[in-house]
Amino acid sequence: MLHYNKELAKMAVTSSRILSTHSLHVNRKTLFPVATLALSLIASPLVHADDSAHYGGTLNLQAQASAGTIDPMVNYEAEYWQLYASVYDGLVAFNKAGGKAGDKIVPDLATSLPQVSDNGKTYTFTLRKGIEFSNGQPVTLKDVVASFQRIFKVLSPTSGTFYNNIVGASQCLSTPASCTLKGGITTDSAKNTVTFHLVHSDPDFLYKLAAPHASILPASTPDHDVGNTPVAGTGSYMFKSYDPNSGLVLVRNPHFKQWSAEAQPKGYVDEIDYSFGNTQEASVNAIMNGQADWMYGNPPVDRLSELSTNAPSQLHLNVLNETYYLAMNNHQAPFNNLKVRQALNYAVDRNALVAIGGGSVLASPTCQILPPGMPGYKPFCQYTANPGEKWSAPDMKKAQALVDESGTKGQKITIVSNENQESVGIATYIQSVLNNLGYNASVQTLSNAIQFTYIQNTSNHVQLSVTDWLSDYPEPSDFLNVLFSCASYRKNSDSSINIAGFCQPSIDKQMQTAMNTSDQKSAEDQWSKIDRSIMEQAPIVPLFNPKQVDLVSKRLGNYTSSGMYQMLLSKVWVQ
């Protein structure tokens, strides 16, 4: 975790001049000076304290929009995964700590990490006793089994990529409603153990069990997406209310007793109030005026120079495993043509997009899927004027030639973006690029609450969309297998995370081999090659790897951020 110092303001005039001369058809407000600000970054001091004086109060959060369903097995938005970290538990969890320590897997509802046998195909956990859901019901082995069956019954977005290796999962994927995972999960009531049987070994299995989609819920939870109705959990907080149009409230779980500070801290604040429908500008003003404590998403880039001067101690910069990209529908014209997909990759000026993303300190250009912090990352860029390890410049001549060869010039293309200033800026710029290539491009903006699921559903016939991917766990399979495997592509579903619809069985086989490789170096080499193989087919246009800027109120203390869950709500306090 890093935060700004006052060098932000120094580069404002220079970067403003640079951007004002750039030939982009983008609102200049979007391309403000932060694009090239040279920040000196220093580590944010973290305070770890148990001082009882810090307990209590209400943490006030703001976001432009809600993130859809509140169901932890269905929702795939970082906005709510941050909440789920304090509301739900799995058998294991990511350590609730900042920086790399947050990547560590720790026991949660299980007493310890599992006993692994049968060459990595059998995982046995002992369930803790005495833990209750927020509705007062005790957590039992029956709840564990029912929860994993429910993953398939509700068509969880990761059922075909995270949990498809459990014995019996193939039947569950073909007929979800009757899922039993027969032979895949067994229990021993005398020992209070639950055992998972896998088809083949999976080095990433514990990471997948730590994801919110593997939360342990009461066995009585409906076998369908609960939508706006909260489900009981075991975490330190519980949902008191949820209205996707206005906000939600979390309060302390009256049945919670801390069993592991690493897995599920008690939390300092008594209540967390989250309001929706606020513009980014309004949220910044609310935080600076002491009316809010944190906002989801980066502050507008045109405010960062001012904030770094007036409130440097309230800004925190976090390095994330994240990639912004354009998802091209490989089944929808004109992007069902490889030459068109390659053309757009060549035509995009990634430096312009870095400017939109906040500048060289807040974003770096990329031509590949894996971000720099991910195992298996080896830099390459084939879609640039000078192919090599890095992106150099757009090659409009080659892009135009590919479009001419494709015979698609003149076709209409709609770019679907959410309402975030950053995404709208990207979409507007891409519109200008497509028009320059001879297409008739337009931008469709949707609410943040629905855009992500809308662009996944093939029935909406989305041609091109602006999106991003933040890692669920620090392994390359979470980018490559989750986003580009055939199992992740589901027609007419809001849970088709393979937005491009890319499906090549030969690459699927390569990914399965990589996931089953126990030697770390060999696996990383395989993932690196897979990254290149997928980009040869250009299913997406990688744009840049961003960093996250958190603006917090003056009264917020013990700021701690995790790569998995962003600001850890159970770790911060309010004065």
Is 255's pLDDT higher than 60? yes
The arithmetic mean of pLDDT across residues 207-220, rounded, is 98
Q: Are 99 and 109 within 8 A, CB to CB?
A: no
pLDDT of res. 39: 39
Give 100-125 pLDDT, tens digit per residue: 899 999 999 999 999 999 999 999 99
CA pair distance 152, 4, nearest whole angstrom: 44
pLDDT of res. 551: 97
pLDDT of res. 1: 37
What's the half-sphere exposure (Cβ side, CA atoms, 13 Å) at 121?
10
Predicted TM-score of the model (pTM): 0.85
Which alpha helices (DSSP H) does 9-161 contain, by range? 12-20, 78-87, 141-153
Q: How many CB atoms lie within 10 A of CB 68?
A: 24
Amino acid at 212: P
Q: Are 408 and 334 within 8 A, CB to CB?
A: yes
Is 446's pLDDT higher than 80? yes
- Can you tell me which residue has the tokens 């514990």? 206
Give 286-336 pLDDT, tens digit per residue: 999 999 999 999 999 889 889 999 999 999 999 889 999 999 999 999 999
Starting at the edge strand found earlier in the chain, the sheet holding 115-117 runs 115-117, 122-126, 193-197, 185-188
Torsion angle in degrees (nearest 10) through CA of 517, 518, 520, 523: 0
Q: Are 445 and 417 within 8 A, CB to CB?
A: yes
Residues β-bridged to residue 468:
324
Q: How many CB atoms lie within 10 A of CB 183?
A: 11
Q: How confident is the model at residue 50 (pLDDT cuts 50, 70, 90)?
A: low
The arithmetic mean of pLDDT across residues 401-422, rounded, is 96
CA pair distance 183, 196, nearest whole angstrom: 9
Is 33's pLDDT higher than 90? no
CA 570 to chain centre: 20
Q: How many CB atoms lie within 10 A of CB 32?
A: 23
Region of poorest pLDDT, from 15-24, 369-378, 475-484, 524-533:
15-24
CA pair distance 389, 404, nearest whole angstrom: 28
Pairing of strands 540-551, 363-365: antiparallel
Q: How confident is the model at residue 513 (pLDDT cuts 50, 70, 90)?
A: very high
The tokens of 165 are what?
């290796």
Give 134-179 pLDDT, tens digit per residue: 999 999 999 999 999 999 999 999 999 999 999 999 999 999 999 9
pLDDT of res. 10: 33
Residue 94's SS3 state is: strand
